Amino acid sequence: MKLTKLIKKAEHYLSDEDMKRRDKIVCLKTLMKKLSKKEKALRSKAKSEGDDKALKKLNKQIRIIRAQREKGVKSLKALKK
């Protein structure tokens, strides 16, 4: 193969990886927004909850969502590098 063909193939593979990385970033950002909205809704619901058992369940769900959001932030930082 000639040099120009090799360069074109290399550019194609590199740009393909960049596109996949950008797609993952966009997907993660939308997921993080959804998790944030869900967490806010659960927090407002927990404020108005009177039952102890239901409140514990809501707090557990909030902690899980919070942990997932933290993982998402770490992976977004890793993808942006």
Read off the tokens for 79.
């993808």
* Number of domains present in the structure of the chain: 1
Answer whether 0.85 is exceeded by the pTM.
Answer: no
Using pLDDT thresholds of 50, 70 and 90, give the confidence band for residue 48. very high
User: What own/partner pairs with CB < 8 Å and gap ≥ 24 does 68-71 have?
Assistant: 68/35, 69/32, 69/35, 69/36, 69/39
% residues pLDDT > 70 (the chain): 99
Per-residue pLDDT at 43 exceeds 90: yes
Per-residue pLDDT at 1 exceeds 90: no
pLDDT at 21: 87
Q: Can you give the residue range of the structural domain that contains 16?
A: 3-80
Give me the mean pLDDT over the 75-79 stretch.
91
